[in-house]
Amino acid sequence: NAGVTQTPKFQVLKTGQSMTLQCAQDMNHEYMSWYRQDPGMGLRLIHYSVGAGITDQGEVPNGYNVSRSTTEDFPLRLLSAAPSQTSVYFCASSYSGGPSTDTQYFGPGTRLTVL
Amino acid sequence: GEDVEQSLFLSVREGDSSVINCTYTDSSSTYLYWYKQEPGAGLQLLTYIFSNMDMKQDQRLTVLLNKKDKHLSLRIADTQTGDSAIYFCAEGGYSSASKIIFGSGTRLSIRP
């Protein structure tokens, strides 16, 4: 049981490049989410999904796209990276209900720098 | 530095409301959390509130946030024996790579 895995661990992009942050979980969790963490700001919810085929916006969705074609995977796409997207990105999953009602399991994070 | 403070114990009668209070020092925290730890179990995230909110209700739970006084409270309505646990207030993010500050926990006991 690997829990929540994220790749890559580190990434440097140039402004305007696109990339996809991968997230996978093997716990059969319905709920998955993406957060970004910036200094002094804790975790901010970007997008979340309550099940395959269902996604919704969180607190800071602009500049990011997500899809959920399977229960296991929840990739986060940056279509045109901007320096403001320099951050540490965490993927999380939980069995049900979202962050307000269930324990979330976090991935190790992806540190993204946009030059 | 950052600190989160809570009282250590609270005892309430079954059916009454429980109010657990917390003060924190880091005004830049975006998230404030309440976790519950039952005997022999790990921490379970109960609820959270964004720092731009002042109240959040979730069934029997009501979270109140006073940013000016840096005061967070958790109210549990109609307290039941199953609510007996230690309740932790926390600020910041929560993962091994992010900084989270926990209070010492408030042990809630329920009297019949």
Question: In tens digits, what is the pLDDT along chain A, a chain of 115 residues?
Answer: 778 899 998 999 999 999 999 999 999 988 888 888 776 454 577 888 878 998 988 778 999 999 999 999 999 999 999 999 999 888 888 775 444 434 567 787 888 999 9
Comparing alpha-carbon positions, the chain A residue that sits nearest to B63 is: A100
- The predicted pLDDT at position B30 comes to 67
Question: How far is it, in rounded angstroms, from Cα B69 to Cα A112?
Answer: 35
Q: How many CB atoms lie within 10 A of CB A2?
A: 9
Contact across the interface for B45 and A90, Cβ inside 8 Å: no
CA A8 remoteness from chain centre: 12
pLDDT at A25: 95
How are beta strands A87-94 and B18-24 bridged, if at all? unpaired
Interface check A44 vs B, CB under 8 A: yes
The CA distance from A96 to the nearest CA of chain B, in Å, is: 12
pLDDT for A101 = 39
Contact between B28 and A44 using a beta-carbon 8 Å cutoff: no
Cross-chain Cβ contact A109/B97 below 8 Å: yes
Q: Do A101 and B50 touch (CB under 8 A)?
A: no
CA atoms within 13 A on the CB side of A17: 13
- Pairs of CB atoms within 8 A across A/B: 54
Give the model's pLDDT for residue B55: 93
- What is the length of chain B? 112
pLDDT of the residue at B26: 73
Residue located via tokens 């079954």: B14
The list of chain B residues with pLDDT below 70 reads: 1-2, 28-30, 40-44, 92-102
**Contact assessment for residue A32 and residue A68, using Cβ atoms and an 8 Å cutoff:** yes
Residue of B35, B51, B62, B95 for testing the chain A interface, max A β-carbons within 10 Å = B95
Residue A99 phi/psi, 5-degree rounding, is -65, -15
pLDDT at A93: 82
**B32 Cβ neighbours under 8 A, 6+ residues apart:** B22, B24, B48, B49, B51, B63, B65, B72, B89, B90, B91
> Which residues in chain A are contacts of B48 at CB distance < 8 A?
99-100
For chain B, the first-to-last Cα distance in angstroms comes to 41
Nearest by CB: B95 against A90, A101, A103: A90
CA distance A44 to B88: 20
